[in-house]
Amino acid sequence: MLIYNYHTHTARCGHASGSDEEYVQAAIKAGYKILGFSDHAPFSRYYRPGNHMHWEELDGYLESILSLKEKYKDQIEILVGLESEHYDFATEERRQLKERIDYMLLGQHYTDPYTSDGISFFKEVSDDKIMEYADTVCKALDTGIYTYLCHPDVFLNHQNVFTEACGKAAHMIGKKCEETKTPVEINIRGIGKGLKPFDYGEDYWYPNKKFWTILSQYDIRATVGIDAHDPKDLLKLDDIDRAMGHLKDLNIKIIEEPFI
């Protein structure tokens, strides 16, 4: 049983449901000792509706989570964090924002904040975009801002072929996580979607076994992230066991104790 989860969203991001307190109550019911909130971080210079909270919601988010931290302090430890995209123009803003919270996760879903074509990993993308994703992740990890890397294989979300570029991206990310000693998250949200066809057979949307087989060649540590977008997600303990089994099969070191 994993006793912590650092990857929890709120309704502020525009694609999650449930109240902040309902997530806390679900975590207590499931037996977690630590619950970290990490909703999609806002940016002061732009806003992508339905993908992250608005900058003006930030203070209310922090106040809400800190209030729940106090209310439930005798039942569970609550941390307040954020999951953020990384863009060069916002590097200093990310540094300053991290000073206000317990931790910041890197969750790169886009490679460009301002355009809408070919940059979202919620649809099939080109090999060039996959390499751009890997390059962006590596640059982000070099900043030292991010506590761990969320769903590193999210770029495979809507791919059906594991191309040479997919393999190169996996090697780049594995090497950089080893160099920077950044933990990597195996994300169970993709497990909940079931299996889908790849050119080499059926596999989860993510975690992708070919991707993680490449990561296993590097000296990395992995954590499991629920990526909760509904309080009920915190109760999916069987999916956590599947994810941990995935890592153990590949002899990847699992961080089983809280590390934030």
Q: What per-residue confidence (pLDDT) applies to 205?
A: 84
Q: What per-residue confidence (pLDDT) applies to 121?
A: 61
pTM for the complete prediction? 0.94
Spell out, as residue ranges, where the chain has pLDDT lower than 70: 115-122
* Cα 158 from Cα 56, distance rounded (Å): 32
* Cα 131 from Cα 127, distance rounded (Å): 6
Structure tokens at 60: 């209310």
How far from the centroid of its chain's Cα atoms is residue 39's Cα? 10
Check if the beta carbon of residue 90 is closer than 8 Å to that of residue 108: no
Mark residue 52 as left, alpha or beta (left: phi above 0; alpha: psi -120 to 50; beta: remaining): beta
Q: What per-residue confidence (pLDDT) applies to 118?
A: 40
Judge: domain 4-254, CATH 2.40.50.100: no
